[in-house]
Chains A and B, each alone.
Chain A
Amino acid sequence: MTWPDQRAPPQGRLSVKRTLSTPRRPWEKRMPRIRVEVDGATYEDDVEPRLLLVHYLRERLGKVGTPVGCDTSNCGACTVLLDGESVKSCSVLAVQADGADVTTVEGLGVGGTTHPMQRAFHEEHALQCGYCTPGMIMASLDLLRENPDPSDDEVREGLEGNLCRCTGYQNIVKAVRRAAKDMREPAEREVTP
């Protein structure tokens, strides 16, 4: 097996780092190095080319807020934003995220506050076990990016790739529409107690 040669070994770096990225034994193939920004922090890692982005997030970075629900990219539990667009992180390789900006559910909200989408899921009781919730929230954000004011049917169609086994979806639809309203009218929201 040959690994695709992602990029040349880094030049002009500290020798200790070069040593680490240099194969220790001749039969070991060099792993590609990726640089990814995840939830505002920058990471640089050598990864196996086959490593899935979701496993990189969970097992290398400890970002376990994004769960895995299936292995055929049907359930959407692992949905994250890759450069602002939703992807199922089980069907993206970590190397494909090289140079990209990844946002997970852990990166929503600023300064200790939650994001309007997170609040809406809570307010509308749009989760029960909560396993699908991170992916559902991230997919919903992308849905609103494309359509800031979706109808019920548009929300249902838009979230077709995210499965929930607990809620029957009705409250998820309500939550997404509530978040859409709150995100369209942030000023109004602030004056509402």
Chain B
Amino acid sequence: MTVQEGRAEVGSPRKRSEDARLITGQTRWTDNLAPAGTLHVAFLRSPFAHARITRVDTSEAARSPGVVAVFSGADFADEQGSLPCAWVVTEDMKHPDHPPMAVREVRYVGEPVACVVARDKYAAADALEEIDVDYEPLPPVVDMNEAVADGADLVHEELGTNKSYTWVFENGDIDAALRDAPVVIEREYVQQRLIPSAMEPRSVLCVPEADDFTLYSATQIPHILRLMLATVTGIAEHRIRVVAPDVGGGFGSKLQVYGEEVLALLLARRLGRPVKWTESRSEGNMTVHHGRDQIQRLTLAAERDGRIRGFKVDLLADMGAYLMLVTPGIPLLGAFMFNGIYKMDAYSFTCTGVFTTKTPTDAYRGAGRPEATYAVERIMDELAAELDLDPIEVRRRNWIAHEEFPYDTIAGLTYDSGNYEAATDKALELFQYDKLRAEQAERRERNDPVQLGIGVSTFTEMCGLAPSRVLGSLSYGAGGWEHASVRVLPSGKVEVVTGSSAHGQGHETAWAQITADRLGVPFEDVRVLHGDTAISPRGMDTYGSRSLTVGGVALYAACEKVVDKARKVAAHLLEAAEQDLEFSDGRFSVRGVQQEGKTIQEVVLAAWAAHDLPEGMEPSLDSDATFDPDNFSFPHGTHLCATEVDTETGMVKIRKYVAVDDVGKVVNPLIVEGQVHGGLAQGIAQALFEEAVYDEEGNLTTTTMADYLVPSAADLPEFTTDRTETAATSNPLGVKGVGEAGTIASTPAVVNAVVDALRPFGVKDVPMPCSPERVWRAIRDERKPETAEPGAGGGLGSAGGAQ
């Protein structure tokens, strides 16, 4: 099949079609929906990090005006089941029960204990105050190092340990690589706990209709949620329809099966009326799953010339109080990424999942790969400093050269394509690297109180989750395919149904571009449907930068099938052999006889009328395809950051940020650039601003956006973005994922720049987020170590490692 490239939609910066409703306020957020008779739910949540529930008295609350019902966890003990964990990473993984509403014990601040159902949200909130709960406090477990020590207080008494699992991967002889290595660098980095902070708070509405239920939720995963709701509650899957209407961002936080979703279903069943719950931001900060939270102990062995011999990684990963949908697997997605883009002889990865009395962790933009990329890119800069090499040079000596692809990495992956040299060269030029290095030298020379730092991050990542066989080998509970179907309407218009569930990415535009090219129909003639299990019954949803590389390829394949069917009809109508037809620009014609032809619309109409079809042909061109990738996709790039660090105040200002990304072939450059911008903002936020802080009692002290510092426009620089284009070889579109790349790459680039600015002071690390106080202390502590005080950053670091 040939497509006229002259008018190609793929590759053009189409303005997004979804914007029309978003800029006019006609959006369908879950909280906007309220069918007649809707009741409102409010949850009473634990004020203790760890306590036994000895009594819950709901009688007074039940008498409050407007209250329809009040329930405690005990009232649902027999039907609420246990929230699912789909990733049992080792056979002996400790996997505690996780009731949607606590029954006997609470294990983090914010865990639901009881709920009020009332005629409006004010009445529900009022009645919460009338619920009387007696708690018997138990010791909180806040610090991971203490949690894994002998005799530690336990989060789950019945498990006998706070260790959920230990997972090991080794390749090559790590002991030999470390033994007598000329250069050994040991570091401990803390990936602080983050709160995903999608702008739309979680919201769920469940509408019962006798034995059938429609559950609307601000979720990334309507298909997975449907199956899991059925599994948890015992309500048959075909009785549940899940709709993800417009969803206001997710970043992994809505890749979850939340207790509130399960309870909305159960409440709707019990009360026979629609029930809705929408969280407040303060409630959400405590109860939406958190991200990151690792202590990384790293040992890098290298030769004197900078070539890496081996890398040893030992992680403590905070699970929080329970294992949620993919909690234990998140740090393991990093297991394949700590080697980055580098060649080495040996690699060892050990991860221990640790229970604490904190909000459970799970996927947050990048999920495991940002943590790994941070570690390797930070330590590469340390290696460069140790050897007095330029950080770019030390990377050049180790990275996989473009002619070496496909390349089997030490972590067991096959990188299909890449060109690290090209991306780096482009970034260096845009950044004016040499000029900034000269300025840095000059500022150092004259002891400028504002020092310039330059940070490098040459990253890759694995995304497009995922080949089902790989997921199976990692004991994940599901496959990684995606589904698409194409419905051709008699008027020639096209409906595309995708199993990917968009929540801000722009699928409705990009999918229409792919379809327009493959079918040769106008972009405007394509409508994309998603996010409703009744409309799109098959899907694996959206996360892990998978939509385009898996779902987009499924769509491509479904379009091919439509064209194949249309070709049969066209050949019949034109009284020609199929092989003599060419399809170009939406028109079938007999090769060499251009004037004889049928447009796709004419063929569609003929197939619909079905008056004269080829023998045995069904009167439909509609087609489905399910794509299961053979490999991950491996976007890569070079990010360079220049920071100005005020050594007197500790203030960090990003002076310049250059991101050159290689995401393969691009469907819509506008959307790609937007994804990179947003990713950079979140990665920079981890480096400089954001941290979920718990106090010694296990109280989250960053429950609001006044305490948890999501950056504003004034906090971020203007980015310079560009691309190189090395096509992925693992799919026919040549595309790679882009959703998480910016977040993965940028955090180490920024921290490397901060540390680079402070090298003259002997500073080798500044814990994240590099707040003015931490930067200031890092400088002073190096000067006078005896004056070092605990608690840098204003609180107990979430992982306990930042004291």
For B506, the chain A residues whose CB sits under 8 A away are 128
A167 and B24 in contact, given A72-B704, A122-B15, A125-B16 (Cβ under 8 angstroms): no
Contact with B along A25-63 (1 / 0, CB 8 A): 000000000000000000000001011000100110001
What 9 A-B pairs are tightest by C-beta distance, nearest first? A65-B25, A129-B504, A130-B22, A131-B248, A168-B677, A168-B681, A74-B705, A70-B281, A64-B32
Nearest residue, chain A, Cβ from B718: A170
- A50 CA to B126 CA in the complex, in Å? 12
For A170, the chain B residues whose CB sits under 8 A away are 677, 716, 718-719
Whether A171 and B674, one on each chain, are in contact in the complex, defined by CB atoms closer than 8 angstroms, is: yes
For B718, the chain A residues whose CB sits under 8 A away are 152, 170, 173
Kindly provide the distance from the CB of A28 to the nearest chain B CB, expressed in whole angstroms.
10
- A71 CA to B284 CA in the complex, in Å? 11
Whether A67 and B710, one on each chain, are in contact in the complex, defined by CB atoms closer than 8 angstroms, is: no
Chain A CB within 8 A of B143 CB: no
- A134 CA to B200 CA in the complex, in Å? 13
Kindly provide the distance from the CB of A86 to the nearest chain B CB, expressed in whole angstroms.
15
Kindly provide the distance from the CB of A153 to the nearest chain B CB, expressed in whole angstroms.
8
Contact with A along B169-189 (1 / 0, CB 8 A): 000000000000000000000
Q: Count of B residues near A, CB < 8 Å?
A: 56
Whether B23 and A122, one on each chain, are in contact in the complex, defined by CB atoms closer than 8 angstroms, is: yes
Nearest residue, chain B, Cβ from A134: B25
Nearest residue, chain A, Cβ from B18: A130
- Of B19, B120, B503, the residue contacting A127 (CB under 8 A) is B19
Within 659-718 of B, Cβ neighbours of A (below 8 Å) are at 670-671, 673-675, 677-682, 704-706, 710, 712-714, 716, 718
- A75 CA to B706 CA in the complex, in Å? 9
For A105, the chain B residues whose CB sits under 8 A away are 23-25
Chain A CB within 8 A of B293 CB: no
Whether A129 and B247, one on each chain, are in contact in the complex, defined by CB atoms closer than 8 angstroms, is: yes
- A57 CA to B716 CA in the complex, in Å? 33
For A59, the chain B residues whose CB sits under 8 A away are 34, 120
A75 and B705 in contact, given A152-B718, A163-B199, A163-B712 (Cβ under 8 angstroms): yes
A159 and B281 in contact, given A131-B29, A165-B249, A170-B677 (Cβ under 8 angstroms): no
- Of B15, B22, B25, B671, the residue contacting A104 (CB under 8 A) is B25
Nearest residue, chain A, Cβ from B14: A125
Chain A interface residues toward B at CB < 8 A: 48, 50-51, 55, 58-59, 63-72, 74-75, 77, 104-106, 108-109, 114, 118-119, 121-123, 125, 127-134, 137, 152, 155-157, 159-173
Nearest residue, chain B, Cβ from A153: B714
Q: Can you report 24 residue pairs joining A to B where beta carbons are below 8 Å apart?
A: A67-B27, A67-B200, A67-B248, A71-B281, A72-B704, A75-B281, A105-B24, A109-B24, A114-B23, A118-B24, A121-B19, A125-B670, A128-B674, A129-B503, A130-B248, A131-B504, A155-B713, A162-B713, A163-B199, A165-B198, A165-B681, A165-B682, A168-B681, A172-B713
- Of A51, A118, A130, A156, the residue contacting B714 (CB under 8 A) is A156
- Of A63, A75, A106, A156, the residue contacting B24 (CB under 8 A) is A106
A167 and B199 in contact, given A121-B19, A172-B713 (Cβ under 8 angstroms): no
Question: Which one of A108, A162, A164 has the highest number of Cβ atoms from chain B below 10 Å of its Cβ?
Answer: A164
If A125-B15, A164-B713 are given as contacts, then 14 extra A-B residue pairs at C-beta distance below 8 Å, sorted by A number, are: A66-B25, A70-B704, A71-B704, A75-B710, A106-B24, A118-B23, A128-B678, A129-B247, A131-B29, A133-B23, A165-B710, A168-B716, A170-B677, A170-B716
For B15, the chain A residues whose CB sits under 8 A away are 122-123, 125
- Of B22, B34, B249, B716, the residue contacting A169 (CB under 8 A) is B716
For B29, the chain A residues whose CB sits under 8 A away are 64, 67, 131
Chain A CB within 8 A of B458 CB: no
- A64 CA to B203 CA in the complex, in Å? 14
- Of A69, A123, A156, the residue contacting B199 (CB under 8 A) is A69
Within 232-261 of B, Cβ neighbours of A (below 8 Å) are at 246-249, 251
- Of A58, A133, A162, A164, the residue contacting B22 (CB under 8 A) is A133
Chain B interface residues toward A at CB < 8 A: 15-16, 18-20, 22-27, 29, 31-32, 34, 120-122, 197-201, 246-249, 251, 280-282, 503-506, 670-671, 673-675, 677-682, 704-706, 710, 712-714, 716, 718-719
For B20, the chain A residues whose CB sits under 8 A away are 122
- Of B25, B503, B671, the residue contacting A125 (CB under 8 A) is B671
For B713, the chain A residues whose CB sits under 8 A away are 155-157, 159-160, 162, 164, 169, 172-173
For B705, the chain A residues whose CB sits under 8 A away are 70, 72, 74-75, 163
Whether B24 and A114, one on each chain, are in contact in the complex, defined by CB atoms closer than 8 angstroms, is: yes
- A190 CA to B344 CA in the complex, in Å? 62
Kindly provide the distance from the CB of B260 to the nearest chain A CB, expressed in whole angstroms.
17
Whether B26 and A67, one on each chain, are in contact in the complex, defined by CB atoms closer than 8 angstroms, is: no
Kindly provide the distance from the CB of B12 to the nearest chain A CB, expressed in whole angstroms.
13
Nearest residue, chain A, Cβ from B670: A125
For the residues of B in contact with A, the DSSP-based class is: loop
For A127, the chain B residues whose CB sits under 8 A away are 19, 22-23
Kindly provide the distance from the CB of B420 to the nearest chain A CB, expressed in whole angstroms.
24
A121 and B282 in contact, given A160-B713, A167-B678 (Cβ under 8 angstroms): no
- A69 CA to B202 CA in the complex, in Å? 10
- A141 CA to B282 CA in the complex, in Å? 29
Whether A137 and B23, one on each chain, are in contact in the complex, defined by CB atoms closer than 8 angstroms, is: yes
Whether A168 and B19, one on each chain, are in contact in the complex, defined by CB atoms closer than 8 angstroms, is: no
- A152 CA to B714 CA in the complex, in Å? 10
For B704, the chain A residues whose CB sits under 8 A away are 70-72, 74
Kindly provide the distance from the CB of A11 to the nearest chain B CB, expressed in whole angstroms.
30
Whether B251 and A160, one on each chain, are in contact in the complex, defined by CB atoms closer than 8 angstroms, is: no
Whether B23 and A165, one on each chain, are in contact in the complex, defined by CB atoms closer than 8 angstroms, is: no
For B712, the chain A residues whose CB sits under 8 A away are 156, 159-163, 169
Kindly provide the distance from the CB of A73 to the nearest chain B CB, expressed in whole angstroms.
9
- Of B121, B280, B282, B504, the residue contacting A130 (CB under 8 A) is B504
- A132 CA to B120 CA in the complex, in Å? 25
Nearest residue, chain B, Cβ from A132: B199
Nearest residue, chain B, Cβ from A137: B23
Kindly provide the distance from the CB of B83 to the nearest chain A CB, expressed in whole angstroms.
25
- A48 CA to B126 CA in the complex, in Å? 13
Whether B677 and A72, one on each chain, are in contact in the complex, defined by CB atoms closer than 8 angstroms, is: no
- A127 CA to B25 CA in the complex, in Å? 13
For A74, the chain B residues whose CB sits under 8 A away are 704-706
- A66 CA to B674 CA in the complex, in Å? 24
For B198, the chain A residues whose CB sits under 8 A away are 129, 131, 165
Nearest residue, chain A, Cβ from B703: A72
For A168, the chain B residues whose CB sits under 8 A away are 677-681, 716, 719
Nearest residue, chain A, Cβ from B247: A129
For B710, the chain A residues whose CB sits under 8 A away are 75, 163, 165
Whether A165 and B25, one on each chain, are in contact in the complex, defined by CB atoms closer than 8 angstroms, is: no
- A179 CA to B282 CA in the complex, in Å? 34
Whether B674 and A125, one on each chain, are in contact in the complex, defined by CB atoms closer than 8 angstroms, is: yes
- A109 CA to B714 CA in the complex, in Å? 29
Whether B677 and A68, one on each chain, are in contact in the complex, defined by CB atoms closer than 8 angstroms, is: no
- A170 CA to B684 CA in the complex, in Å? 14
Nearest residue, chain A, Cβ from B675: A128
- A71 CA to B31 CA in the complex, in Å? 15
Whether A75 and B680, one on each chain, are in contact in the complex, defined by CB atoms closer than 8 angstroms, is: no
Kindly provide the distance from the CB of B128 to the nearest chain A CB, expressed in whole angstroms.
15
For A160, the chain B residues whose CB sits under 8 A away are 712-714
Whether B31 and A67, one on each chain, are in contact in the complex, defined by CB atoms closer than 8 angstroms, is: yes
Kindly provide the distance from the CB of A118 to the nearest chain B CB, expressed in whole angstroms.
4
- A170 CA to B711 CA in the complex, in Å? 13
Whether A129 and B200, one on each chain, are in contact in the complex, defined by CB atoms closer than 8 angstroms, is: yes
- A108 CA to B25 CA in the complex, in Å? 10
Kindly provide the distance from the CB of A159 to the nearest chain B CB, expressed in whole angstroms.
5
Whether A128 and B504, one on each chain, are in contact in the complex, defined by CB atoms closer than 8 angstroms, is: yes
- A108 CA to B121 CA in the complex, in Å? 29
- A44 CA to B469 CA in the complex, in Å? 62
For A169, the chain B residues whose CB sits under 8 A away are 677, 681, 712-713, 716
Whether B674 and A164, one on each chain, are in contact in the complex, defined by CB atoms closer than 8 angstroms, is: no
Kindly provide the distance from the CB of A127 to the nearest chain B CB, expressed in whole angstroms.
6
Whether A71 and B280, one on each chain, are in contact in the complex, defined by CB atoms closer than 8 angstroms, is: yes
Kindly provide the distance from the CB of A60 to the nearest chain B CB, expressed in whole angstroms.
10
Nearest residue, chain A, Cβ from B28: A64
